[in-house]
A and B are shown apart, each in its own frame.
Chain A
């Protein structure tokens, strides 16, 4: 390096690094800088696809074929589509009817786990498995349990003399929807259970003791002492569960793929069938966007509830 440059460079380095330090110490500039990496990913892979989805839903785009603007025709066509009606109805049942079952069974699980039990740590780890493992893979287990030929449930019922021949669990609309709802409940019980358990453990011990001294029995202590403490968590967990279940895909894709005869679709699987398998991208995007107002409604409900309780 040239001697004159060498003697100058430390000076310049430090002045520019001071300027950089100032930049980093000003809260507003550092704040923006720290938000940048995450927000760029969200902008490219979340905000942009969302806007693109709205545009696609207003076109007749198909895979490999650029479409033209057709206004709201995709949305209007769907309103006259019987499969779409069935899909919307199924989604409502799937997301709403399952919640009370998950909440009650989860509460039961939490009350049981809240006692001093032997091996409580491994037991807690084990009961979380339905929630923790990939749903696609555990659904395969259920897929086999509901198989028309190998079902252990059918085998058991036949041995007990309750039925004559195997049940075709996933081949009949009513039984299939029930089976799908059951697998969803099965997966959700641990989530409700562990969340409610955390709430139970936050109930001050003195309150229980005081109530016991005052002569309250177990039932009254639960209603008057415990329940007010866990009400908020049950509410938040239920809303989260509704949002996730409403937008589910894999469980139904594995169990029935929407069949038999398109009778068990929910929004996600029907959009996949129309938008991917049948290559009608515009129509598929319209199906997914029908979810948006309902998702927004429950999200805002959740947000308001969380702010109120905080």
Chain B
């Protein structure tokens, strides 16, 4: 009986799970083994391509020594951090105002912010390039630090507003009676109670910045100002020679930070991902 139900479980759960894992993770496996092979082995069709015959780190050494990978990493990090910080500050303010305060336009502002969240970069990149040009910001960190928040603020505000609404009003009302100002309440009472919400908004913003491609491709054209996704795509794919190994090495290393952050904060990310669906 036990054996029967065990094999039933294997059939219903572990086999489909294994199929999903292979399907979803195969590209990462492929990228890993290609990055660890010498280029000559790629061309040898007698080798089983699904396995590494001879290990080498030469692709990684090439990436570190012959490309501007470290600059790309630095650019991506500084832009993601500053842009996230700026967006979270603005979003805490907007989220609190929309959750708790009545002011002219406050009713329609909530919907407006949500609709802005759905405006994609592809709709705006052409005029945005003109704006960045007029402000003389091409090939500067500021071009991305200032434009990413247009993607981040709407969602983070929406998420934080939902979070602030779950804090009982009575706590704030009694603090108001005790003579606290609204700002003091926000800083001393609301923010400490909202740490999980702020964390999920932060993770969300950071990964979006890290992964953004279109604006970075257009605004950062000079080699040492590129972000990792753009640098990898544009500097490692050359028409005549393809540095497959280094290309895959760079793609993997560029993915590690978000995967790493995410694995630590799975819970917060998932709650952030579904917040709009569950709370909206």
Chain A residues packing against B (C-beta within 8 Å): 21, 24-25, 27-32, 34-39, 41-42, 44-46, 48-50, 52-53, 56, 108-109, 112-113, 115, 117, 121-130, 132-138, 140-142, 144-145, 150, 152, 155, 186, 189-191, 194-195, 198-199, 202, 232-233, 236-237, 240, 243-244, 246-250, 253-254, 267-268, 271-272, 275-276, 281, 284-285, 288-289, 291-292, 295, 299, 302-303, 306, 310
Contacts and interface: CB of A to CB of B under 8 A. Distances in A.
A308 B128 CA distance: 35
Contacts of B2: none
B266 A125 contact: yes
B20 A31 contact: no
A45 B97 contact: no
B118 interface: yes
Nearest to A234: B277
B contact patch SS: helix
A301 to B, nearest CB: 11
B214 interface: yes
Given A141-B28, A276-B218, A134 B123 contact: no
Interface stretch (B60-68, B103-111, B166-174, B191-199): B103-111
A243 B229 contact: no
A249 B94 contact: no
A303 B115 CA distance: 8
A249 B122 contact: yes
A17 to B, nearest CB: 11
A288 B129 CA distance: 14
A126 B211 contact: no
Contacts of B93: 34-38
Contacts of A249: 121-122, 213-214
A contact patch SS: helix
Of listed B28, B104, B274, residue having the most chain A CB within 10 A: B274
Contacts of B251: 137-138, 140-141
A21 to B, nearest CB: 6
B49 A127 contact: no
23 contacts: A21-B181, A27-B103, A34-B101, A37-B93, A38-B93, A53-B127, A56-B130, A125-B262, A126-B21, A128-B266, A134-B210, A134-B211, A137-B229, A141-B248, A155-B45, A189-B20, A190-B24, A240-B276, A243-B118, A243-B120, A247-B121, A249-B122, A271-B122
A31 B14 CA distance: 53
Contact of B232 (A37, A137, A275): A137
A189 B24 contact: yes
B175 interface: no
B157 interface: yes
A112 B213 contact: no
